[in-house]
Amino acid sequence: MSTVTFEAPRGMRDFYPEDMVWRNRIFDAWRAAAERAGFRNYDACVVESLELLQRKSGEEVSEQIYAFEDKSGRKLALRPEMTPTLARMVAARQTRLPFPIKWYTIAQCFRYERMTRGRKREHYQLNMDIIGSEEVLCEAEILGAAVAAMRAMGLGDEAWRIHVSSRALLGELLAKSGIPEAQHPAVFIALDKRGKISDEEIAALLRVEGLDDAAVAKTFELLSVTTLDEAAALAGADSPAIANLRDLFALAEQMGYGPLLTFDIAVIRGLSYYTGIVFEAFDVQRKFRAIFGGGRYDSLLALVGGQPTPAVGMGFGDVVVGEVLREALGETCPVTRHGYAIGYMAAEQRGAAVALAARLRAEGHAVDLALLPQKPKHFFSKAGASAAKFAVFLGPDDLAAGTAQAKDLETREITPLPL
Ligand code: HAM
């Protein structure tokens, strides 16, 4: 028999119990925030048809797809993101759904990426999307829920920022610079590579798209705009994109996360389907890649064959936020102690221990019952290292007295517990 490596395939993760503590901290915060904001849960199979996922070449994600053929020759793939699947599901029931709909899911996604810090070949993503409304309150609600999730995980507002821009704004500015609309999608994708490849390489990409030297220079000039007021001065008083952005900033203030938002014209997003406001969240030191990202994509439903329907959403990955959390909270995930650990000295006390465990479990407590008799020292040291709040160790004296001692592992306080 050949030897098998104990490692998971490159870029894939195993989750041991100590890893699951972190993962659950993230997933619990995601789920609670999405539910509290009124999003309904949905799910889909991780395998999707390749045709749906593969869009225009040049988009990074479509080059990273794990694709395969099934035994009947169907071209399939592991989804790299959830949005095309969501668009397909919504298009399939377009006449029956009560728009606008607010849906969320926690989806495992696969991308054959070059591995860097915060990038794996598999990750989980919280997706929250609102489909069927053009109101900028949708963007504000989605960002508000993401903020609530970050706070629930234990990350302070000082640690991170949401960078916001708008493809519609950039489109207006590019048009004013004389760059025709047909070239905008390619310009967005090229500009999104900023920081990943050199400006010379980006300029070369723009020239391939047909921009002359003057247009390339103008495009780079637009990226030096630093404030919304500056952008407004360029776009003109009647710019719908500016009005939209100002509305979002005002709503964020009203919702209590205004200080987290910052205008950043360099946020463009790598996926081609975005049409309006786009956003990405980063740690303030910019040590990590984007914590989450998303935006408005009003054309995707029509692109997959549905009726034209406005939509906005975000993807929030577990990998980057996991790293940010470890940095902020320490390597060991802080856990809230709960439930009981029960041990016993000899076989004679096993029955009483089992009965006590059954009773406490019936009352709704978590109980970790020892499988064998133990020395008290061993029991208490293991209980101390566990997540239990109380430790109960049964010896002959407890049975004789008809009362056990529950030791609070945080306060060391002892409470009697009738047997
Ligand atoms: P995305 O920016 O490609 O957007 O991914 C969203 C988030 O998923 C990223 O900010 C990051 O946290 C995480 N992520 C992506 N790729 C990886 C990776 N290889 N390893 C670890 N984490 C990763 C989308 O996927 C859009 N579909 C989001 C969306 C939903 N837009 C509208 N609705």
* pLDDT at site 61: 86
Whether ligand 1 lies within 6 angstroms of the CB of 356 is answered as no
* pLDDT at site 1: 61
Q: How confident is the model at residue 68 (pLDDT cuts 50, 70, 90)?
A: very high
Q: How confident is the model at residue 237 (pLDDT cuts 50, 70, 90)?
A: confident
Residue located nearest, by CA, to atom 20 of ligand 1: 119
pLDDT at 122 over 60: yes
Whether ligand 1 lies within 6 angstroms of the CB of 125 is answered as yes
Whether ligand 1 lies within 6 angstroms of the CB of 83 is answered as yes
Whether ligand 1 lies within 6 angstroms of the CB of 317 is answered as yes
316-359 per-position pLDDT tens digit: 999 999 999 999 999 888 889 999 999 999 999 999 999 999 99
Q: Which atom of ligand 1 is nearest to the CA of 321?
A: 12
Distance 147 CA to ligand 1 centre (A): 17
pLDDT at 108 over 90: yes
349-404 per-position pLDDT tens digit: 999 999 999 999 999 999 999 999 999 999 999 999 999 999 999 999 999 999 99
Whether ligand 1 lies within 6 angstroms of the CB of 155 is answered as no
Residue located nearest, by CA, to atom 9 of ligand 1: 292
Which phi and psi angles does 387 have, rounded to 5°? -95, 10
Put simply, whether the predicted model's pTM sits higher than 0.85 gets the answer yes
Whether ligand 1 lies within 6 angstroms of the CB of 290 is answered as yes
CA dist 337 to 25, 109, 341, 376, 409, Å? 14, 32, 11, 20, 9
154-165 per-position pLDDT tens digit: 999 999 999 999
Whether ligand 1 lies within 6 angstroms of the CB of 315 is answered as yes
Whether ligand 1 lies within 6 angstroms of the CB of 79 is answered as no
Q: Give the residue from 417, 311, 313, 283 showing the smallest Cα distance to 363.
A: 417
Whether ligand 1 lies within 6 angstroms of the CB of 105 is answered as no
Residue 66, both tokens: 């794990």
Distance 63 CA to ligand 1 centre (A): 15
* pLDDT at site 186: 86
Whether ligand 1 lies within 6 angstroms of the CB of 59 is answered as no
Distance 271 CA to ligand 1 centre (A): 10
Distance 125 CA to ligand 1 centre (A): 7
d(CA 418, CA 409): 19
148-201 per-position pLDDT tens digit: 999 999 999 999 999 999 999 999 999 999 999 999 988 998 898 888 899 999
Q: Three-state secondary structure along 360-374?
A: HHHCCCCEEECCCCC
Question: Mean pLDDT, to the nearest integer, of 137-151?
Answer: 98
pLDDT at 2 over 90: no
Question: One-letter amino acid identity for 76?
Answer: L
Q: Is the dihedral of CA 60, 61, 62, 68 positive or negative?
A: positive
Question: Mean pLDDT, to the nearest integer, of 54-61?
Answer: 72
Question: Mean pLDDT, to the nearest integer, of 241-255?
Answer: 98
Residue located nearest, by CA, to atom 30 of ligand 1: 314
Chain-wide mean pLDDT for the chain?
A: 95
Q: Helices marked H in 4-154 — which ranges?
A: 17-36, 50-53, 60-63, 83-92, 137-153
The two beta strands, 367-369 and 403-408, are unpaired
pLDDT at 58 over 70: no
259-315 per-position pLDDT tens digit: 999 999 999 998 989 999 999 999 999 999 999 999 999 999 999 999 999 999 999
Distance 317 CA to ligand 1 centre (A): 6
pLDDT at 257 over 60: yes
